[in-house]
Structure formats: C-alpha cells, structure tokens
A and B are shown apart, each in its own frame.
Chain A
Amino acid sequence: MQGVAGKILRVNLTERKITTDEPEEDFYRKYLGGAGFVSYFLLKEVPPGIDALSPENKIIYALGPMTGLAMPGATRNCIGAKSPLTGGYSKTEVGGFWPMEVKKAGYDAIIVEGRADSPVYLLVTNDGVELKDAGHLWGKTVMDTHDTIAEETGIKGIRTSAIGPGGENQVRYACVINDLKDAAGRGGLGAVMGSKNLKAIAVRGRKNPQVADAAKLRELTLFMNKEYYDLPLFNPSMHDVGTGEHSMMISGNAVGNMPSHNFRDNDFPTVEKITATTTMDVYGTGMEACAACAIRCKKTVAIQEPWNVDKRNGGPEYESLGALGSTCGVDDLAAIIKANELANLYSMDTISLGVSIAFGMECFENEIITLEDTGGIDLRFGNAEAMLQMVEMIARREGIGATLAEGTKRAAEILGHGSEEFAMHVKGLELPMHDPRVKQGLGIVYSFEAHGADHCAGLHDTAATQPSAGFEHLKGMGATIPLPANDLSGDKVANQKASHLWSLFRDSAVSCQFVPWTFSQQVEIIAAATGWSYTAHEALQLGERVATLGRIFNLREGIDSSQDELPKRFFNGTKSGGLKNGGIDKEKMDEAVHTMYAMMGWDEHTGVPTRAKLAELGISWAEEEIPATVA
C-alpha cells in the first residue's frame, strides 16, 4: 500500500499490552482514515450501553492518507470515542504537528482500550512503543506536561497529544491538546483520556510512507502555495488574523449571528473590542502554521498585565472569542484571552466551556443559582472576573464548577427549576458561535448530525446566498441553487447534504477546511497518495457511510430522532438586533430534518437507516446493531 502506513497501533491499558493490526487494502479504501476509521471501530468494538468514562470505552486517534503529506492543510488527525458529554457518537479533528509524527512513526491510527491502574503516557517512535509512568505528570498543565516529556525523553522535536487537569478531573467537555495550543475540541474526549489514566501520547517519527504520484502532489502543493490568495474559496483574513476578523464579527452582530448573553440577545454593541483584528492589534505577537501550511491562520498573543499570558499557548479563535466573550456578555479582551489560555492549559473545549458558564450566568440572573451556590461570586453576564473564576472552578470541579463541568444538559437536570430553557445544546453538545436562526440550513445539520451541534459539519448559509465560483464548486457535489440564509426548502436540504458529506470525507482524508482545496482536488490528492483510481463518487459515498454508522451508534445508545432538535430558544426572536423579527419556523425545520433523513436513505419518519442504504454503502454488517425497538 502507498500513502498509508498500513498499521494500526492497539494499546490495552488494563493489560499493558501493545499490539498491531494490519488491515487489508480494501478496508483502507472503504473507510479511508480519520472519521471513517472512528465510525467503524466505535460501532464494531465499543459495547452498547457502557459508561463513556469506563474502561470499556475506546479512544481512537486516526490519521488519513493526507496526513503527513508536505502540503497545506494536511497535518491533521481525528479523535473519536463514545462521548461523555452526549452519551453518543463523537469525533473531533485537530491540526499541528503531532499527526505527521504518528504517520512517520509508522501508524495510521492508535486505538487505546481499558484503563491503566496508575497514570501513564504512551511513547511512540520508530524504535518501539512503550507505556511510561506519568505519576509525576498528573496534575500538570498541558504545557508543563509537554515540556517535562520533552526534557525527560531527550527526544528532539517530540510532539505530544495530552490532557491537563480538565481531562484528569473528567470535565465532560475536556478536550485533547496537540502540543500546546491545537485542540481536538468537541465532545469531551479529553475526559475519556482522563478516565483511562492516560496523560499523553508522545510521538517522534522518522519516515513517511511512500506515495504513488509524488509529482502530482508537488504540482498541487505549488498550485495552492502560489494561487491561494486568488482562489474563490479563500478568505484572505485567515492569513492576517485567523478566524474572527473584524468585519466578520461586526457584520455577524448586525444580523444577529453573534451570540450574546447565552444566545438570548445576540446584540452586542461592544463587539469591536473582542474581534480577532483587535486581538492582534493589541496583544498579537505573530501568526503560526501547522506543518507545511502556507495559510498560517494561528494567532499568537502575549499579555503581561493584569494576567500573564504566554504566547506559546496560542491565541483565541473566533469560537473562543464568542463563547468566552459575547456569549458570557464579556467584552474584556484580556480576560477572554486569559480564559482561552487556561482552557488550553487545562484542556477544556472553549465552546462548551463558554456556553456552560453563560448557562450558569443566566441561571444566576434568574435566581436558580444563588450567591451561596457560587461561594459569593457575582455570576452575572459581563463579569469578566467571575467568568475567569468559573474556568478555574470547572477545571477543578470545585463548588458550582462541579455542576457546570457536567455540560449544560446535565447541569440543567441537576439544577431543575426550569433551567433547561437556558441549556443551549443539541444532544448534549453545546452550540457553537453560529446562530441557527440566521444560518437556518446549518440548523438542519446541528439538529440531525450524530455528534450534535457541530459548525464544521455543514454549509454556512451566508456563504451560499448568491451565484459564485464557490457555489459552482458545491454544485459538483449535489448542491442545487443559492438560497436565502433562512430558507428551509428541499433545495436547501440538498445543499446541506452535499456540504455535510464533503465534510465527512474531508474529516476522513484528513484535510483542513481552512485551506481552500476544492473537493475535486482532495479526491485527486487521495488518488495521488494511494495510487487508487479514487473517485468523487467514492468520496461522497464515504461521507454517507460515516454519517450512517454514526447514526446507528446513536440509535444503539437510545439517541433517536426525538433528540434531533434545537433548543426552544431558537424558535423565537430576540428583543432587539437582527433577530427581533422572529426565530425559526419549527414546523419548517422539522420538515427539513425529515427531508434530510429521506435524502440520506434513512426512514423519513424515524431516521433509521434502511436496509437498502446499508447494502449500497457496503455496511450491511451494521444492520444487526440497529436496536429491534427502532428497526
């Protein structure tokens, strides 16, 4: 095989046993890598009904054929497990340098099973794989963990994928951090590492697998590096300030897309104070890149007063600026940047973290949480100091922090008194910073997607409202016509389906969505790397396979179509701002979700994949995993 290492590393922590799988080429072509591997192994190997934080769960770190290629957007990995936050299927992607090292060390994936009886970290090199004691690392931040491993192994250029105290304390939205600042953010997979006593996976590799057509890959790389500023899918501000550029956040606020005060208001007059442009103007120290990428979309920032922020820990993305900022009513940029740094050091997803704190703030303002509960902290919207204190308390599960560490769905169940009205999640996964009242097609994807409210899984409606070169590209994947952002017709569902399947192929490849590769180019890259006559049809079918396996995983866990629903808040407008004229038409949204089921080859009423679709996708084996109660 070419373009892949041909080996999957399997580590059983309970037995401290390390083995290697060598799947056949047919398996690689069918599931590709990344999200494809995650979907397969979760459904095949994780028993139904287990506690996500028990030894029975498995965590899968999966690369794809693109991972490690010396081209932009190609150094990423996917991580998957049963989510402690949603109780269902979970996968999340991350970049940096770690994925490339895993490939060079000779593996396409690492599957970790069981639970170690004491803290460990895994060291992977071309010379071997070993479990090392991590008792001295437990309690350390991600940065201290990385630095200690680098120092004690003495391996120059070693890369880590690690957790901090948030993961150790099993905050249900703890994330996994590659090196110091690249987050595999969503779904609480850092808590799964914590539950397994797995502090980190440290890797250094030496040799990339051979590719089939190096000249073609070089040609595509040169094209991207020379032309990307002029490509229709490229956003030039990504190179300058990363996500969250000034005009994007200001215009978003003007039309109601800038969540504020827990999605209650979406009218944040001081938004200019917290944009990425302001971040870079005031605190920026430079832009950095993942391996071999010319885009350089990662901000670095430094602050000395009133809090110290080390530039090694990275700067906030748009999602973090929104979640820890406007969603909490906070416009103190230094506090937001500090909270973002703490989230990286402690390994917590900034989206779920910010939305959980905002939930706490709304509960506080409605006297569901009291001063006694907070230990005297005035947990009102806009109180930056309180927001920072909550970050610390959540990471340590102290006081009310222990409740908010459960995520908004469980926290509302604990607190009661109508607090579920303030819990902004789908299936337990907190909403990202793209309001489905504005981007209603994305709301369809938030609703039906196995993972929950994931902004990377669908088309952002505001990018497809008019004919454009970018939309022409989407047509090649099945999109129909450009439509208004609030349209929920069958044509909109078709557009979203096309974009969703592309995202799942991309996450299997594994390719970055910020690099403006077209779908066709990504298919070409897979063909050039592997030597397969890989086609666009195969790529879209892979997307369907991933979505369908995720769907069945959820059905097995009791997560059915009744959970394919947005929070009630989104069916109403706001008091002022761009959403003052109303929210989503619930009847139309429900109809759109059911139309999506039908387009996916699932039962239009129940959302259960049909036998015919499973056969078409070559996954008839999954039929026996569908519970008899819903089949």
Chain B
Amino acid sequence: MKNTFSILLSFIFLVFMAACGNSGEKKDSGMMNTGDAAQKVYVAPGEYDEFYAFMSGGFSGQISVYGLPSGRLLKVVPVFSQDAEKGYGYNEETKPMLNTSYGFVPWDDAHHPELSQTDGVPDGRWIFINGNNTPRIARVDLTTFETTEIIEIPNSGGNHSSPFITENSEYVVAGTRFSVPFPQKDVPIDSYKENFKGALTYIKADEPGNMDVSFQILVPGYDYDLAHSGKGKSHGWTFFTTYNTEESHTLKEVNASQNDKDFIAAVNWKKAEEYLKQGKGKKMPANYMHNYYDEETHTATSTEKKEVTVLIPSECPGLIYYLPTPKSPHGVDVDPTGEYIVGNGKLSADLTVHSFDKMLTAIENEEFEGEVDGIPILKLDAVSAGTVSSGGLGPLHTEFDGKGNAYTTFFISSEVVKWKLGTWEVLDRAPCYYSVGHLMIPGGDSKSPWGKYLVALNKITKDRYLPTGPEMNHSAQLYDISGDKMELLLDFPTIGEPHYAQAIPADIVMKNSKKIYPIEENKHPHAVKNEKDVRVERDGNVVRVYITSIRSHFNPDNIEGIKVGDKVYFHLTNLEQDWDTPHGLSIMGARNAELLVMPGQTETLVWEPQKPGVYPFYCTDFCSALHQEMQGYIRVSPKGANVPIKWSLDGEE
C-alpha cells in the first residue's frame, strides 16, 4: 500500500514537473535588452509619437495609421473597402468612390502605401495606395486623412507593382502582375503566349482631382511584380521586376520558376514623354473610372473614361530595356543616390545589384544578349555592380538608412540582413517573428531616409500574442537601427496585413492637419447652414429631409408624413465648428450604415421604410453631456395615407 502510494506520488510529481516544464519553457522573444527597449518605445500619455506610419491594411483594403515608436493605432483610413464605422461607401457622398467599370466594388486588396515626394523626399501632402484585385490607385489627403481620389487602371490584372511614385510626384505607376488579353477578349486560356500582354501604366499624380492615365506601355505577357522609380541621377527611369518570363498560365508555382533568370524592366519615362509629343502614342479604346471626392461639396463623383494612349516598344527605341536578374526577382529597390538597383531574387540566397551608370554605358555600347518584342536584353555582366551573398534565403525587399547601408528581408529564413552598399558585405542580421515580407524605414525608399527605425512587416504570427482562434492579426516589429546592431524594440499586431508601410516625421504632417470643415465653405447642394432653413420636401415618392445637428439636438427631431414605399434622403449637416465634435445618425431598420458627419460637413443616408410605425433615430457619436437625449422620431404611414409632411423641433415648425 505504501509502495502504491509512493508510486502514485512520484507519478503526480512527474506530471507536475512536466506541466511546469512546459509553461516554464519560454519561447525566444527576440529581445536583447528589455529594459532599454521599453524606454525607447515609451511615449508618455499626452505626448506625441515621432513618426506617422501608414500601414497598408492588405486584404482589409484600408490604410491604418500608427504612431512610431509606440506602435499606437491612430486611425484607420477607409480606402478600397466599405467602412460601416465611418459610413464610407455607405453614404451617398462616398458611394461613387468605389465605383469601377464593373460597377460598385466594395473591397480591394491594398498593398503599397507611397507618400508623395518633392525632390525625392516624402513631403506629407498625400499618400497613394494600390488596389491589387480590381486594379486601382487611391490618393489619401493628409490634411484630412480621407480618401479623395481613386482611378481604375485599364488593361491590367493584379495591380501589384504600384504606385511607386516618381521623384516630384509626376507619376504613380501600375504594372500588371497578371497579364491579360489586351484589350480584354474571349480567348482560350492556353492561347496565353499569343494573346496575353502586360501593361506598364503611368498615371499623372501631381494635381488633386486630375489623376489620369497618361500612357501605357504594351509589354510581353510576364508577371510585373514590383517597381521603384529612379532618383537623383536615375530620375526619369522606373524599374519593374518580372517573373513568369516562361509565360505559363497554370501551376505557376512550378512553371513560372523554371528560368534561371527573369528580368528587371528599365523604363525611360522621360523618353516616353518625348515619344508622346511626337505623336507615337496610339489611342486605344478602354473603359475605366475616375472617382474624385470634392472637399467643398463633400461629395464624390465618378467619371467614365473611354480611351488610353499606348506606346509600343518596337516602335519606340530606347523606351525600355530588360536587365537579366536571377531567380524570379520580387522587390526592386533603388538606393538613395539612384545608382544601385537591387533585385531581390526571391528563390535564391543572393541579391543581384545593378549599376545605373553601367546600364547607361551598356545601352550606349549596345551590349545586348537578345531582344523580346523589340525590347533589348542587356548583358548581365555589363550591368551588374555586385552580388550580396547573404547567407539568408528568399530575399524579398530592401530599404536604406541613408548612411550607406541597406537592409533586406528574407521570407524563408525569416530575418532582416544589414549589408553595405558598394562592398556588399553583410554587417548584421536579426531574426523576425515570423516570415517577414516588406520592411520599412521612414523615408527608406527615398533620397533622404530618416534611418532611426526599421519596421519588419511579418506575414505569419502564430504564438506572438494571446491566441485569438485560427485567425490572427499580422505582426509588425520595430527595430532600432541607429547603432551598428539592429535591436528589436517592439512587436505589435496590425489591421489586416501590414503589407507595406511608409513613415514620415510627425511634424511634417501634423501642422497641416485640419480640425473642422469651415461651414461657410460647404457647397454641398443639400447643405443647411442655419437651423432656420431645415425642412422636409416631397417630390413623388422621394422625400428629402434637410436636417442639422448641433449639441445636443437634431433639427427637426419629429418628422411625419413619410409613407411606406418612399425613398427618404436624410441630408444631415453638422453645424458644429469646434474640434472633435462629430455627430452620427442612425435610423432603426435602415439597411445601411450610420452617418458620421464631421463639423461643417453634410452627408446623406438613404432610408426606405418598409412598415408603418414610428421609428427612432439618434446620434451615434457620444457628443456631449446630453448625447443620450440627441434623438428623434419619424412617423411612417401606410402607402397612400393622407398624413401631410410635417416637421418640428420642440413643437416649433
């Protein structure tokens, strides 16, 4: 008996030890010096972060704005996806923003935020981002942090190598990741080599409201993966990576990985401008939308465009060259001087770096090894500046710190490698948790990076945070790169997928941030700027409610004479002119989202009442001490009833 007891006891002890051992075995956090790191990322309550970081929401379709170094979420800016929280894409004013040649498309896959630049330096006026699925590029105004413009890209599929702006925001670019028939037509898929083409598109970007496809270059049907525009001496050129130069159309994971080398396409867009002036551009029919949100009317309009100008390389010598680059290059990154063009061969261990100067010489000496559809292929030896033997696997993207160093992410070996430009020697490496895609250094793809921090934008999360079921937010990791060694400081989850990001010193942006929309500048056709002018008007079955909000009431707040079958437009003007005093509006049973109206703004909610009764409506944004009282009623009478239109506030009409 005693023996049995001691066996039992030792068994319990073993189980206990095992349990302890399990929980006690702490995973590797990646931190070197926790105390110091905490100090570096601590931003005291009420203090401001040093940088705004604009993170792509990836498949959320939005941009999320974070503060660095704290990793605090500041705002989610709705771009390509409807956002019920803000009424974006639900209210009448912003619905046209999501219009495409296919009609209303309420979602996209947002990939690369790109800040506007002046002389190669981010200037904080706008941030652009591409929609990959239904090819689009959006502009977000950084005085309001609102999406103000979206242009659709014709003749494109998978707008991935985009927007990658030029040095003075002349153009944003768009390359097709999935080549498609150009123009679209009904052909067998296995006629790929014959019928499928790629398009490299240049969109005029420097004037709000006037984004426009300036020209497209018709190129072989490869997959155009990423891009970067030249800077400094290489200003005037754009570099696009390609894969699938095999031109396969099925089981691409194998069939597009057969060629030892693919290409980086070097496009001389200044030359393109010359050819356009000479009339070399061919007008081709197309069908795409341009949507613009006017800040004074608070309303977006969608305009259809029917034509594009196309340049064909065989007719435009000197327009485009191919630089052979090993192993399906993914990212292509140009160093701050504009001399080095880094090809990140994603299926290899090494990075191939091309020299811009050598490229120009090779072009001059016609050191070609072949030609595709009139595009000369330069000899690799003639353009290569060097190779970085990294010791990692699966290089994807490179950014720069402005001190002569480059940082490259390796997806497969899950790390960031720091190396030196010119000598190509590896200086440091830091693990990422896990499988990093893009990386971001504030201004790290510009002429003057602010090389203090690096953010690794990871694709896989697994055990980094408290588990939240099968789906987890992707993680971003902040490193201090001010010293010789990279130091992991912070790890934070992001919305959707932090596909790519850009950051800029806060003082450049915050001084221009608007607090209100001046009501005297409101040119919305259905705005009501004075409580005396509120009214309800019927025209057939269309009823327009001209309603205002100010702390803490709607005017009117009692509405009668609405009938089943009516289409009721609530044009709500927020009369407030104080900072941070939005008012919301929601109506019981409205098959729609709320309105969230900023001070001085007008927005419209459409409601189609279905059943007679009296329905409450209320303010959704906790606006004041009497927010709970900010409510009203709408009476809905049966179809054909004789109840006259009537509106009032506190018994006064």
Check if A and B associate. no
Q: Which B residues lie at the A interface, using CB under 8 A?
A: none
